[in-house]
Structure 1
């Protein structure tokens, strides 16, 4: 046994790499087999605990990672976004639709929602619950189809769309009789790098949407 360890020592000194169970080590200590530690000390230094967790990489190497990164990697997605202004938010239609410009993050556990492109990009595979709501401005004075849709990778996957009906009372007063709220929700599988965005559709050239976060918003939650 003593000769074996001396042999390993001199081999490590000459080659700067030691192999156990392999003649072609690719690290300072390369173990081709299981590793057993019979006793360990209980670490109580919080600075060490925070920054000294060991993990096995896909290549088999042992690396150090911060504990906060492990927690972040395991957190499920939780996103909620709205408009940054509480007033009427104008949206100009292009070919009958327009991306909802949710530019205010209310929560984003894994930093997956981009407030400049108004797009969610999944960081991990999973099943997601997705919803959105918008409230049409009371200043809308015509009857027209207005819809709210969820788009995955640019394709529509769920939508609520119906006519915003207005009636005339004694030819003196126009009254909207349909609710101003559009709400859409779905459950969908997403793979890493799949995207989600939300669009308003209408035959009008533009639409004003109420910007209050309690009236118009989107939410994405990872179920598993």
Structure 2
């Protein structure tokens, strides 16, 4: 014999609002299954997953949160999923000097850019003479470059991100060098651009006259790192 009784059960309440209404604390000493039906057990999820609401009338589901315990960086949401954004931040370990190239169409990779503050996907490489990096996924990335330059007055140095695959700038800034020859002037690039996992990129600079990119800013009151570059995924 099969008997179906449809009723609402209240614990700690005489006016239950749902099939089971608990007015008080709840202790669960084994797995918690969500979803399923009359013939299939719901899912108990995996270790480390969190319970996500899917709205009224729909069972919640277990979701994997970004790998915060093993990754350093900023948690972002992409296509409804949490992940730790790829991030690269690098400083120089020494000054870098390059020869001027009047009329040049290919910029010079910046050397000595090898003090890695963060490279949470290990996709950056820098040496005394060059650098390169890749992004792990197509997306929009924020670019920050702060570079202190010493060169000839009245020239126009350029700094930026170079696509090694296409041989073209993808982000750059240039300005008239108004400091005295051999003085110091800081160039800053802040922008956001689409970047592709299939391409290789590099931080580069170029000028018509010899130039030096400075590792430290120094003065009578102290010194500290001045040239820093970074790339971080936004979406």
Shared fold, TM over 0.5: yes
* Structure 2: distance between partners of 1:175 and 1:200: 17
Check whether the contact 2:132–2:202 (CA below 8 A) recurs between aligned residues: yes
Check whether the contact 2:138–2:197 (CA below 8 A) recurs between aligned residues: yes
Which of 154, 167, 170 is 1:143 aligned to?
Answer: 154
The match for 1:38 is 41
Check whether the contact 2:144–2:231 (CA below 8 A) recurs between aligned residues: yes
- The 5 Å alignment of 1:39-118 reads 49=47, 74-85=83-94, 88-93=95-100, 95=104, 97-101=107-111, 102-116=113-127, 117-118=130-131
Q: What is the number of equivalent residue pairs in this alignment?
A: 157
Tell me the secondary structure at the aligned position of residue 41 of structure 2. coil
| Cα drift, residue 196 of structure 1 | 2.4
Q: Taking structure 1 as reference, are residues 69 and 214 closer, same or farther at Cα in structure 2, changes over 3 Å only? A: closer
Where do 4+ consecutive residues of structure 1 move more than 4 Å? 39-43, 67-73
Tell me the secondary structure at the aligned position of residue 231 of structure 2. strand
Structure 1, unaligned stretches of length 5 or more?
1-33, 44-48, 51-66, 168-173
More helix by share: 1
Q: Taking structure 1 as reference, are residues 40 and 150 closer, same or farther at Cα in structure 2, changes over 3 Å only? A: closer
The match for 1:219 is 230
Q: Per chain length, whose mean CA-contact separation is higher, i.e. which structure has more relative contact order (CA < 8 Å, sep 6+)?
A: 1
**TM-score, with normalisation over the residues of structure 2?**
0.54
* Structure 2: distance between partners of 1:190 and 1:166: 34
The match for 2:32 is none
The match for 1:209 is 213
| Cα drift, residue 195 of structure 1 | 2.5
* Structure 2: distance between partners of 1:202 and 1:74: 39
**TM-score, with normalisation over the residues of structure 1?**
0.57
* Structure 1: distance between partners of 2:139 and 2:234: 7
1:198 and 2:166 are equivalent in the alignment:
no
User: RMSD of the alignment, in Å?
Assistant: 3.6
Check whether the contact 2:92–2:225 (CA below 8 A) recurs between aligned residues: no
1:124 and 2:129 are equivalent in the alignment:
no
* Structure 1: distance between partners of 2:120 and 2:233: 11
| Cα drift, residue 149 of structure 1 | 2.2
Check whether the contact 1:150–1:184 (CA below 8 A) recurs between aligned residues: no
